[in-house]
Structure formats: C-alpha cells, structure tokens
C-alpha cells in the first residue's frame, strides 16, 4: 500500500523502497525456481546490489528475468548509475541502458513502420504499439501510462498518435490532454501518417524559396492545395492559412469534401480556407492559372499536374510536390529539386526528397525533444512547423 501513495506524492524514496520490498517478497517466493536466488541472473543480481548501495531508488527483476531494473530521480543520476553498472566486473557482458520508453497509438490495423523506425533512431530504447485503438480508449491508455511512474519522471514516458486521419489524430491528442491528472503527466505527439511533419517541411521549403528567390512572403500568397482531400493536404492548408496565405483546397472529385475540410480548418484553427472544384482538367487549369503557389499532395504514383498546365500559369512562383513514387505528381519536377526553374515563366519547383529531408529532421527532432525534456511536452501541428522553419534556415 506504499507504492501508489508514494507515486502520487512524488516521493521517490518511499516509491523505490516499496518496489524493492515487492521484489524481495516475490524473489524469495520464486527463488526455488531461480537457482535459490531472488534473481535469475547472478550477474544482474551483483550489479543491482551495487546500484542499490550507490543510491538507486528501488531495484528489481522484470517478470522471470533476466532483465533487471533500477530507478533514479533524475536523468543525470540515471546516467551516473548506468556508468557504475557498465564498469562493474559482473556487468561487462550485460546490455545496460538508461531507458526511455515510447507508446505509439493508431486507429489502424498496423502502426507505421516508418514512424516506429524514426522513434527508435531518434533515441527511444523501446517502442510499444497499440493498434485498432478507438477514441474512447485513449483516456484509459493515457491514465494507465501516467500512473506507472512518479510525476517527477513523467517526461520519460511518451505517447504518439498516428493513423491516416488528421481529425481523429487531433481528437486523440485532445482526449489525451484531457485525461492527464496533475501532477502526473506524459509527453504527447500527434503526426498521423507523418502528415504534420511533412506538411510543416513542405510549407517551410515553400516559404524559404519565396523569400530567398522571389522576395515574397508567404503571407497573402495565393496558395492552391491539390490532393486536398487527404491527410497531408489538410495539414498543408492549415499551416499555410495560419501563416497568412490565401489558401484554396482543390477537390479532384468535386467541391463537397474539400468544403467540409475547409470548414473543419476554420473550426479547429480559426483560419479561413477556400474550396474549389478541380474535378476536370479545365477546372484544374483555371485554378493553376490563378495561383502563385501550388502544393501537390496527391497519392503516391499519381500524376496530378501537367507541364502544359503549369506553363499556362504565368503568375506561378513556386510549386512543391510530396509524391516520391513515379510518376511524379508534377510533370517535369525532379525529386531532388530545391528551388530550380520549372517553367519558362520562372516558376520554381521543390521536389519530394527536398521536402523529405526537412521532414525527416523535423520528426526526428521532435522525438528528440520528447526524450530530452525535463518536463512533459505536448507537440502538435504548429510545433512541427516552428521546428521545420528553424531547420530550413
């Protein structure tokens, strides 16, 4: 009965003592099945005994072992104890880590392998995925996570919301924030389909090209988003509109769905976005002719805009494509292009790999921010753009 009250009171001394007491009781009970020891591995037992003497707040064994664990009050103290363990004569053959665990949630059947790899490469030591999660289940998952650690180390727990639906991911993030019970907390990050970080990178690349090569600001630019019914188009439109661009969502199947998306952007972000019917080539050509900036966010391997349509747009300044799978979304635009001439009128093109370079750094950087945070952080679409803009110079 000491462990939970100690966690609630941020009393790591009592919390650690309770954990150690539980380990002793369970370890003694199962010692007969573990060679007469409370621990399966003699080496782990020896290292943990030293860490206990060196000031670890609680030691124990995970299930049947051989993995052992020790708690510390701060990341710096954890690093000190890890160094002691690594230098221990019995620790030479052990894999010793200061662990930052990560929970990844998706409403889909599978969590994105891309996002899992990004999280691991950024420095998380372990990733646990939760699939087919409904909005109503988010509260339970968050509260199960926050009560597992004392509030002072809550920042070492993170939860990520993926999927392919921007609205649902934003709702899950909001649900998670509402589920927090101060002083308990964890870090939260939403990036469905990688769309928030990709959109942030795309808008940051467009903004830089406009500023450096066209002496224009993003604010006030006539900005058309093709592929606007998808999660990436929604996120690009929201970021660009929040930065003051005059944004139009173009619907390949008519105006109804993009009008609904425009209404949702207004409701969620307070930004005005227009909707346009781009259901045939003539309508698309007219929209392109009126645009100064184009963001092509269509599906992979689908040609959306032709060279002829772009050449007819004498006022076009910049066009960016997110599609890295041939054929390109924008005809004639190379994947690595970064502000290169695209039309005879001087429009400049930004290819998907140029965008992807900033996207990769942005997502990795945001994961890194969660890992290094002293207090829990909450990361949304605006945070992604702020970092992408910084990274892009």
Strand pairing class (222-226; 246-251): parallel
* Exposure letters 214-232 (e unless 16+ CB within 10 A, then b): bebebeebbbbbbbbbbbb
Q: Does residue 24 sit in helix, strand or coil?
A: helix
> Could you read off the pLDDT tens digit of each residue along the chain, which spans 393 residues?
566 677 666 677 888 788 888 888 887 878 777 777 888 889 999 999 999 999 888 888 887 778 888 888 776 788 899 999 999 999 888 888 777 679 999 999 999 999 999 999 998 888 999 999 999 999 999 999 888 777 877 887 899 999 999 999 999 999 999 999 999 999 999 999 999 999 999 999 999 999 999 999 999 999 999 999 999 999 999 999 999 999 999 999 999 999 999 999 999 999 999 999 999 999 999 999 999 999 999 999 999 999 999 999 999 999 999 999 999 999 999 999 999 999 999 999 999 999 999 999 999 999 999 988 888 999 999 999 999 999 998
Could you identify the residue written with the tokens 């060279």? 307
In DSSP terms, 188 is beta-bridged to 159, 378
Domains of the chain (ranges plus CATH)? 3-91 (no CATH), 101-190 (3.40.50.10280), 198-356 (3.40.50.720)
Query: How far apart, in Å, are the Cα atoms of 219 and each of 205, 295, 376, 391?
Result: 14, 15, 33, 20
Say if CB 104 and CB 127 are below 8 A apart. yes
Whole-prediction pTM value? 0.80
Write out the H or E segment, with its range, that includes residue 190.
strand 187-190
Say if CB 88 and CB 50 are below 8 A apart. yes
Maximum Cα–Cα distance across the chain: 83
């Amino acid at each position: 009965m000491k462990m939970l009250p100690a966690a609630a009171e941020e009393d790591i001394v009592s919390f650690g003592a309770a954990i150690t007491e539980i380990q002793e009781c369970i370890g003694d009970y199962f010692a007969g099945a573990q060679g007469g020891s409370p621990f399966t591995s003699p080496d782990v037992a020896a290292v943990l005994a030293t860490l206990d003497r060196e000031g670890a707040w609680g030691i124990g064994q995970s299930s049947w072992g051989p993995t052992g664990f020790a708690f510390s009050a701060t990341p710096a103290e954890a690093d000190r104890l890890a160094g002691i363990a690594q230098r221990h004569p019995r620790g030479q053959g052990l894999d010793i880590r200061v662990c930052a665990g990560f929970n990844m949630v998706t409403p889909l059947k599978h969590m994105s392998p891309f996002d899992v790899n990004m999280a691991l490469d950024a420095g998380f030591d372990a990733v646990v995925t939760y699939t087919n999660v409904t909005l109503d289940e988010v509260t339970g998952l968050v509260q199960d996570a926050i009560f597992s650690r004392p509030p002072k180390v809550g920042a070492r727990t993170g939860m990520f919301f993926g999927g392919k639906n921007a609205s649902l991911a934003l709702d899950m993030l909001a649900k998670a924030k509402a589920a927090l019970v101060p002083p308990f907390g964890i870090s939260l990050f939403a990036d469905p389909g990688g769309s928030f970080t990709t959109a942030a990178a795309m808008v940051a690349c467009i903004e830089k090209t406009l500023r450096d090569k066209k002496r224009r600001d993003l604010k006030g630019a006539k900005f058309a988003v093709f592929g606007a019914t998808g999660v990436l188009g929604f996120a690009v439109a929201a970021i660009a509109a929040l930065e003051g661009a005059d944004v139009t969502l173009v619907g390949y199947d008519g105006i109804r769905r993009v009008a609904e998306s425009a209404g949702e952007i207004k409701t969620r972000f307070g930004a005005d976005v227009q909707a346009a019917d781009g259901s045939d080539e003539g309508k698309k050509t007219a929209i392109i002719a009126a645009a100064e900036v184009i963001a092509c966010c269509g599906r992979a391997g689908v040609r959306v805009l032709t060279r002829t349509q772009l050449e007819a747009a004498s006022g076009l300044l910049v066009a960016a494509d997110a599609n890295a799978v041939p054929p390109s979304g924008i005809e004639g635009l190379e994947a690595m292009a970064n502000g290169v001439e695209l039309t005879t009128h001087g429009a400049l093109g930004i290819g998907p790999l140029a965008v992807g370079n900033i996207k990769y750094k942005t997502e990795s950087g945001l994961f890194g921010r969660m890992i290094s945070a002293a207090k829990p952080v909450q990361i949304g679409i605006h945070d992604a753009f702020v970092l992408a803009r910084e990274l892009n110079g």
